[in-house]
Amino acid sequence: MTKEQVLEKLKFDIELRGLSKNTQDEYLTKAKIFQDYFDKPATELGVEDVRQFLHYLTTVKKLAPESVNTYNSGLRFLYGVTLNVNLNLRQIPRHRKPHKLPDILTQEEIQALFNVCDNLRDRCILMTLYGAGLRLSEVASLKVADIHSDKMQLFIRNAKGSKDRYALLSQANLEMLRAYWKAYRPKEWLFYSRNHTGTHMTPKAIENLFKKYVKKAKITKKVTVHTMRHSFATHLLESGTSIYHIKQLLGHSNINTTCVYLHLVKIESLNVTSPLDQITESEKANG
């Protein structure tokens, strides 16, 4: 079997299981890079080659644990499903993810991002990301028909886990979307690619414009597009929104995923008194 035939069979298996387009792209890309590294089809490579490749990604390429794990997942699927080879999974362990709290943008910093946008489309994209707490791929693939202004909702199709959901549509976001529509008149996709392919913007293009405006706004925090989603959830929590409502808005399957935002809330916004102060005050009152 050639390298190309391996990839074709992998693509068939991914489609057969109904995995998302994002997963399909990830697995195919990872498998191609793996085969090209050895310049051999995966059928001629085994567990020791997988171990060597993952070690190379970690020590030479110095990829983040999350990135190495995506290669790991793709190769496990390639061998376990497509090639029907039982790998010793103990020999190709996943990296433990460091549990670091992400940086959050303040509302002033987010407003600064909006202010430095040099065109209406980019400002609309950033406002939609933050205003609805969307993932990068979700805002990229929005359609005009997904804007339900009567219910003040955005319809998010085929989100993470192949689930549809509704997201929050704020009044300010709706007004910006209307201004954008009048100026650009999008037909099917809300945000079209500028390379005239007739398709929606790629997540990479949105990532690039975000980086551009972070630099332009002179924000020095270590942030990504996903920071807008983190900031959305944290600001909602700080304003008193229930963690269960936030879970629904974000489309999380497990409340434990949403609970990470409890660690990001500013202490001063909780309006909580330490029990030590309560004891001290009680002692003063009785003394």
CB-based contact 167:159 (threshold 8 Å): no
Alpha-carbon distance values, 151 to 15, 174, 193 (Å): 34, 11, 28
Residue of 135, 200, 230, 235 marked catalytic: 135
Residue of 121, 123, 235, 252 marked catalytic: 252
Residue of 165, 200, 229, 235 marked catalytic: 229
The question of whether 160 is a catalytic residue gets the answer yes
Q: What is the 3-state secondary structure (H, E, C) of 65-84?
A: HHHHHHHHHHHHHHHHHHCC
List the structure tokens of 115: 């202010």
Residue of 32, 51, 143, 226 marked catalytic: 226
The question of whether 99 is a catalytic residue gets the answer no
The question of whether 196 is a catalytic residue gets the answer no
The question of whether 230 is a catalytic residue gets the answer no
The question of whether 121 is a catalytic residue gets the answer no
The question of whether 151 is a catalytic residue gets the answer no
Residue of 11, 143, 160, 212 marked catalytic: 160
CA distance 44 to 257: 40
Task: Give Dmax over CA atoms of the chain in angstroms.
Answer: 86
Q: Which of 16, 56, 19 is nearest to 36 (CA)?
A: 56
Query: Which residues participate in catalysis according to the annotation?
Result: 135, 160, 226, 229, 252, 261
